[in-house]
Amino acid sequence: MDAFFVEVERLADPSLVGRPVAVGGAGDRGVVASASYEARVHGVHSAMPMTFARRRCPDLRIVAPDHRRYAEVSEQVFEIFRSFTPIVEGLSVDEAFLDVSGLRLLYSDTDAIAADIRAQIRATLSLPASVGIAATKFIAKMASGRAKPDGVLRVPSGTETAFLHPLPVGELWGVGAATYASLAQLGVATIGDLASIPVASLVARLGDAMGHHLAGLSRGEDRRSVEPDTKAKSLSVEHTYEVDITGYDVLETEMLRHSDRLSGRLRRAGVSGRTVHIKVRFSDFSTVTRSMTLAGGTDVARDIYRAARELLTRLDVGSRPVRLLGVGVSGLDEGTGVRQLAVDRPAKWDELADAVADVRARYGADSVAPARVRGGGAAMEPASSRSEFASDVGASEGDENVPEEHRPSPDGNS
């Protein structure tokens, strides 16, 4: 999809059409997530700090992202893909590989398939899309990039190297800033230059996997097939604060908030994770991670939070200002319907989490939250609407000190 977030926003607000638009965070620490082609003319591109984008393009219209909406539209786009072929491999929210070899008998040629897919997207969703056609995934990916905006590019079999070799190495899928700098030292400017370097030199410079990988790509070789139904391997929640946060108390509260969100996403996805990771970025942008593997998988906020808190203490953050805090899980197992219980976790925590999920489904995501996360919210709400889950989950001293009657119960107000 072309400038996907921007184009989805334009459907909701036609005044954005034809103007330079950036979707992204408007605050001091925001970056551009998606830029319209009118904005790109001014040198605005994704991942650029928004303050810089604004300076480059004073007329820029800035729109806050609505990821839920993009996910909905994405699902509609993928439905169109799957109406052509079941072999669809999603690469991100707005792009996918389609293996259309099964459509050979239905269409005169692949250009006709591409035209049909684009027409369907245009007709049902009013969105522009571009298509790259090739015999391998990576050539198709590169071709789609050069087909944008709103175009089609086919690279016929046998012409792969002719297509690739004149292009700058930086355009090769998998070559970013660091690899680009390494290659520049080897005197490599184009993909053709890359193809002329001995594989051993590339491996020595870039490592085993990357060396062999790029050597193959530069020759147009890519044996990867289109893999539908790939499962997620990790899930995470992170946030960069407008103003740095400081001190364990605040860090723990924020970690609880993140753990709660992450738990909701795990449960909605029907998976549990066994390894918990935390990520801390300090004010100087240095970033550290810590992780620990649990005895069994979990999707419960309390378990994730406890691990995250433990990892936080290992980090010795002290009073250093923190700009980003994150938590994630990996080692995802499909929930089989029968949830595996961690040794030290009574079933009531699962029941509580189910109850919280029910309340949120009925009354909205903000209807219930740990008291610690609610902060001073008590004065704003009748006591009866507050969740008990909170006073315990948020307690830094653990449950041992919490009297039985104050522990959450699955059939209580929660």
Partner DNA sequence: TCTGGGGTCCTAGGACCC
Contacts with DNA, residue ranges (CB under 7 A): 24-25, 28-31, 33, 46-49, 51-52, 55, 91-95, 141, 145, 172-180, 207-210, 232-240, 265, 274-275, 285, 287-293, 314, 323-324, 326, 328, 330-331
End-to-end CA distance of the chain: 42
CB 307 within 8 A of CB 294: yes
DSSP 278-333: EEEEETT--EEEEEEEEEEEE--HHHHHHHHHHHHHHHT-TT--EEEEEEEEES-E
Task: Identify any residues that bridge with 95 across adjacent strands, giving them in sequence order.
Answer: 92
- Residue carrying the six token digits 């899309």: 129
Pick the closer one to DNA by CB: 285 or 344.
Answer: 285
- Between CA 336 and CA 340 the distance in angstroms is 9
What residues are annotated to the active site? 95
Compare residues 216 and 331 and give the one whose CB is closer to DNA: 331
Among left, alpha and beta (phi > 0; psi -120 to 50; other), residue 299 is: alpha
As a whole number of angstroms, the distance between CA 397 and CA 249 comes to 12
Written as six digits, the tokens of 104 are 């050979």
Nearest C-alpha neighbor of 264 from the set 355, 392, 326: 355
CB 402 within 8 A of CB 392: yes
Choice between 141 and 219, CB closer to DNA? 141
CB of 234 to DNA, least distance (A): 4
Q: How far is the CB of 37 from DNA (least distance, A)?
A: 15
**Contact in structure between 38 and 18 (CB atoms under 8 Å):** yes
- Choose between 331 and 335: whose C-beta lies nearer to DNA: 331
d(CA 317, CA 305): 17
Minimum CB–partner distance for residue 103 and DNA (Å) = 25
Q: How far is the CB of 223 from DNA (least distance, A)?
A: 13
Report the nearest approach of DNA to the CB of residue 32 (Å): 8
Give the nearest distance from C-beta 201 to DNA in angstroms: 15
The whole-angstrom separation of Cα 338 and Cα 188 is 55
Both tokens of 112, joined, read 């006709």
- ∠192-136-115 over CA atoms, to 5°? 110
Identity of the residue, 94 or 392, whose beta carbon is nearer to DNA in the bound complex: 94
* Interatomic CA distance for residues 279 and 324, integer angstroms: 8
Cβ proximity to DNA: between 211 and 408 the closer is 211
Whole-Å CA distances, 86 to 200, 227, 256, 350: 40, 10, 40, 36
Residue 153 or 355 having the CB closest to DNA = 153
DSSP 16: G
What's the CA gap between 140 and 100, in Å, rounded? 12
Q: How far is the CB of 345 from DNA (least distance, A)?
A: 18
